Amino acid sequence: MRNKRQSAEKLMQRIFFSIAGASIAILFLIMVFLFMEGLPIFGVVSVGDFLFGHYWYPTSDPPDFGIFPLIIASVSVTALSSVFAIPLGVMTAIYLAELASKRVAEIVKPTVELLAALPSVVIGFFGMVVVAPFLQDVFDIPTGLNLFNSALMLAFMSIPTICSLSEDAIYSVSPGLKEGSLALGATRWETILRVILPASISGISTAVILGMSRAIGETMVVLMVAGGAGMIPESIFSPVRPLPASIAAEMAEAPFRGDHYYALFAIGIVLFVFTLLFNLVADFIAHKYRQVGEASL
Amino acid sequence: MSPKPKMTSSNLDFYYGDFQALQDVNLEFHERQVTALIGPSGCGKSTYIRCLNRMNDLIPISRVEGRILLDDEDIYEPSLDVVMLRRRVGMVFQKPNPFPKSIFENTAYGLRVNGVKDKGFIQNRVEESLKRAALWDEVKDRLDDTALGLSGGQQQRLCIARALAVEPEVLLMDEPASALDPIATQKIEELIHELKELYTIIIVTHSMQQAARVSDMTAFFYMGKLIEFGDTDTMFTRPKLKQTEDYITGRFG
């Protein structure tokens, strides 16, 4: 009887282990494939020229495979979107966790999270049809499909991530700390600024970085609203062509296993490295500044 | 005829929603005295102490009736500044709750949120408070270290120092030693003895021995009511009521 139970335990453990193992194996194979299809481009162009070359003309003769403008586009779109998304996301989180009444929070929180459920193509469509003409009119610029517009749309997409994860972090600050602060004659604001935010900073940073890594990898929105010009942007209203947009736009027309095809996969590698870095940093911060309980007795 | 009390509660009722947690509590606290609040869990003693600095304001469905006077001021008067009240009536909690900041910043926190900018003043006050809380010698060389590295007993004394730094008149202690080992507890009790020279102290405790050791007056709560109130020696030797005697001698509760 006892043996039977034990072997059932073992069997369960093995089943779960192989399921977990399967997803790791699949991930690994995708990586192998990505590198197999991407690395051959470096036989044609050096890593330095690829990363820092200023011209991306993959179909010219001879072709130019410099993705620097695309990298700058991705970085600037992500940076500008976080300028919108971080304050909005974190402030909403503070409001939800600390200030809103229970009833309001119960309505607002799911609504913000619903933003995450919007398909990116819908957000892109909104940017194209509503925001672009509006920007064009207001700022008197040649096109509303540009860096600013895509940053705004990406901010919409990363706010739910930032807000929801930050809210969890703020909410989990022990009520003892809050009471301790109030009992010393601190106001609600002072308590939030001086105790609650510092205590939840690791969770908030993780939230911000995950939100940003979502923005940098997002494809459909930037494909639709960034404008698609493979040039280094001159202002926040310049049209740009971020890395994922280039892959999505060009993959269909790139000859199979041609240089262009390899170059697009190499862009994929660059993107992969970016998001990997973001995640590593998030992990590092989460561990280094881990939230500490109210007392280690 | 005793001198005028520092704090008085008269006909105090307290409700969590529909549940009445305190019923008609009348108590007086005098300066330079330690008053212990005892009673079984759920008897309302913690709720009561949290009424005294309006900590219960944080609970949305709570309601207070009756009056609490600090000197001659009704602390539930709508015009009263809660922030000022909490400065005058400090609190130490059951679990040590130092902020995730340095030892120095923990102690200086109350001053900083009250707008004190003078560095020298803050420095002096931090030192003085840590000394008063009998922690100075243990931490004077590592004031910039995080407070979370201190032991439980040290953390609790830090929380006391933090409360003292804003120079309160009354000090509320909600089972300040319940999470500590006997040696740390002893230190806290010695500290209470010294602090009562300067402050009015009100302490909630689960330990009869502790109440007997540290307090001048004792109030026994049961089921939200104040059962008996009197000076500690009398309470522990010749309680007026059978109920009090049963609780103190450990026959129930």
Tokens of B9: 């509660």
Size of interface A-B (CB pairs under 8 A): 87
Tell me if chain B has a CB within 8 Å of the CB of A174.
Answer: yes
pLDDT at B67: 93
Overall average pLDDT of the A218-246 stretch: 92
Measured between alpha carbons, how far is A77 from A127 in angstroms, rounded to an integer? 14
- CB-nearest to A296 from B60, B90, B148 is B148
Please report which confidence band the pLDDT of residue A294 belongs to, taking 50, 70 and 90 as the band edges.
very low
3-state SS, B164-233, equals HCCCCCEEEEECCCCCCCHHHHHHHHHHHHHHCCCCEEEEECCCHHHHHHHCCEEEEEECCEEEEEEEHH
- For chain A, give the percent of residues with pLDDT over 90: 74
Assess whether pLDDT exceeds 70 at residue B181.
yes
Please report which confidence band the pLDDT of residue B253 belongs to, taking 50, 70 and 90 as the band edges.
low
Helix (H, G, I), strand (E, B) or coil at B220: strand
Overall average pLDDT of the B191-201 stretch: 92
Helix (H, G, I), strand (E, B) or coil at A189: helix
pLDDT at A1: 67
Assess whether pLDDT exceeds 70 at residue B103.
yes
Touching B: A residues 72-101, CB under 8 Å: 101
- Report CA Rg, chain A: 23
Q: What is the average pLDDT score of chain B?
A: 91
User: What is this model's ipTM?
Assistant: 0.89
A281-290, B3-12, B76-85, B128-137, range with the lowest pLDDT = A281-290
> How many Å lie between the alpha carbon of A36 and the closest alpha carbon of chain B?
48
Q: What share of chain A is helix, strand, coil (3-state, %, to 5)?
A: 75, 0, 20
| Contact flag A181-B113 (C-beta cutoff 8 Å) | yes
Assess whether pLDDT exceeds 90 at residue A104.
yes
Overall average pLDDT of the A239-248 stretch: 94
Which residues from A are below 8 Å from B96, CB to CB? 294-295, 297
- CA A41, A45, A47, A50 torsion-angle sign: negative
> How many Å lie between the alpha carbon of A170 and the closest alpha carbon of chain B?
14
Tell me the per-residue pLDDT of A131-176, one tens digit each, with 9 for 90 and over. 999 999 999 999 999 999 999 999 999 999 999 999 999 999 988 9
pLDDT at B41: 87
Measured between alpha carbons, how far is A278 from A210 in angstroms, rounded to an integer? 7
The CATH architecture that domain B7-248 belongs to is 3-Layer(aba) Sandwich (3.40)
Which residues from B are below 8 Å from A176, CB to CB? 93, 95, 97
Tell me the per-residue pLDDT of A3-60, one tens digit each, with 9 for 90 and over. 888 888 999 999 999 999 999 999 999 999 999 999 999 999 999 999 999 999 998 8
Domain ranges of chain B: 7-248
Q: Which CATH class is domain A47-296?
A: mainly alpha
pLDDT at A2: 73
Overall average pLDDT of the A264-269 stretch: 96
pLDDT at A4: 83
Please report which confidence band the pLDDT of residue A297 belongs to, taking 50, 70 and 90 as the band edges.
very low
pLDDT at A202: 87
Assess whether pLDDT exceeds 50 at residue A293.
no
Measured between alpha carbons, how far is A224 from A120 in angstroms, rounded to an integer? 10
> How many Å lie between the alpha carbon of A193 and the closest alpha carbon of chain B?
11
Q: B18: how many CB neighbours lie within 10 A of its CB?
A: 7
Tell me if chain B has a CB within 8 Å of the CB of A187.
Answer: yes
| Contact flag A182-B112 (C-beta cutoff 8 Å) | no
| Contact flag A185-B84 (C-beta cutoff 8 Å) | yes
pLDDT at A290: 61
Q: What is the average pLDDT score of chain A?
A: 91
A184-188, B2-6, B207-211, range with the lowest pLDDT = B2-6
pLDDT at A295: 34
* pTM for the predicted model, two decimal places: 0.82
